[in-house]
C-alpha cells in the first residue's frame, strides 16, 4: 500500500530506479555478511532480507506491472504485456529450479552468498532502467506514443513537450 502513495508522487521511473538501486545495495550487504559468516552477521543478514522484502514490495514489485502496460505502444500493448509476463513467469520458474542447487550445501553451497549473484544482476537492471526506462507518469498514451515515434531518450521523457495531440491522432490513424 505504500507504493500507492509513492507511485504518482515520486514517479514510476524514479521509484523503479531508486528502489532497484536500494535493493541491489541490500543484496550486496547480505552477500557480504554471509561471506563474513559470524553468528551476528548471519542474524544481520536475516534482518536485511526482511528489509529487502519491504523495499521490493514498495518499489519495483509494485511498479513492474504498470511499467509493462504503460510503456508499450498502443497497438501492441496487449501483445507486449503478454510476452513480458510470459517471459517473467518462465524466468521465475527457471529460478525456482536453479536457486536450490546454488544455495544448498550439497550442491553449489553458496547459501546467502547467492545474494551476490542477484546484486550483480541488480547493477545491470539499474543501468538498464537509467538509460532505457522512460518516466510516463502524468502522460497520456498518445503522448507516450509520440515520444517513442520521435525517439526521445528515456531520460528526457519527463521534460519533453509534446505537440498537438489531435494532429498526432490523425497521423497515427493514417499510418
**162 lies in a domain?**
no
> Tell me, what's the pLDDT at 149?
86
Kindly report the CATH number assigned to the domain that includes residue 38.
Answer: 1.20.1250.20
> Tell me, what's the pLDDT at 169?
62
> Tell me, what's the pLDDT at 166?
59
**79 lies in a domain?**
yes
Number of domains in the chain: 1
Residue 158 phi, psi dihedral angles, 5° rounding: -65, -35
**34 lies in a domain?**
yes
pLDDT tens digits for range 30-76 = 999 999 989 999 899 999 999 999 999 999 988 888 888 888 888 88
Half-sphere exposure of residue 134, counting CA atoms within 13 Å on the CB side?
Answer: 26
**37 lies in a domain?**
yes
pTM of the model: 0.83
Residue 15 phi, psi dihedral angles, 5° rounding: -65, -40
Mean residue pLDDT across the chain:
88
Contact (Cβ atoms closer than 8 angstroms) between residue 148 and residue 132: no
Q: Which domain holds residue 97?
A: 2-138
**119 lies in a domain?**
yes
Joined grid coordinates for residue 36 = 563474513
**157 lies in a domain?**
no
Amino acid at each position: 500500500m505504500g507504493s500507492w502513495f509513492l507511485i504518482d508522487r515520486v514517479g514510476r521511473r524514479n521509484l523503479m530506479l531508486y528502489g532497484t538501486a536500494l535493493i541491489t545495495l541490500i543484496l550486496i550487504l547480505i552477500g557480504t555478511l554471509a561471506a563474513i559468516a559470524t553468528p551476528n552477521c548471519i542474524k544481520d543478514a536475516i534482518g536485511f532480507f526482511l528489509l529487502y522484502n519491504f523495499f521490493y514490495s514498495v518499489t519495483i514489485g509494485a511498479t513492474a506491472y504498470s511499467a509493462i502496460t504503460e510503456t508499450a505502444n498502443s497497438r501492441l500493448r496487449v501483445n507486449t504485456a503478454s510476452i513480458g509476463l510470459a517471459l517473467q513467469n518462465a524466468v521465475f520458474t527457471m529460478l525456482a529450479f536453479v536457486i536450490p542447487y546454488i544455495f544448498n550445501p550439497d550442491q553449489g553451497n553458496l547459501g546467502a552468498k547467492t545474494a551476490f549473484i542477484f546484486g550483480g544482476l541488480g547493477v545491470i537492471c539499474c543501468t538498464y532502467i537509467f538509460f532505457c526506462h522512460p518516466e510516463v507518469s502524468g502522460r497520456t498514451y498518445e503522448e507516450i506514443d509520440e515520444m517513442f515515434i520521435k525517439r526521445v531518450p528515456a531520460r528526457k521523457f519527463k521534460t519533453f513537450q509534446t505537440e498537438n495531440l489531435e494532429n498526432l491522432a490523425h497521423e497515427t490513424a493514417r499510418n
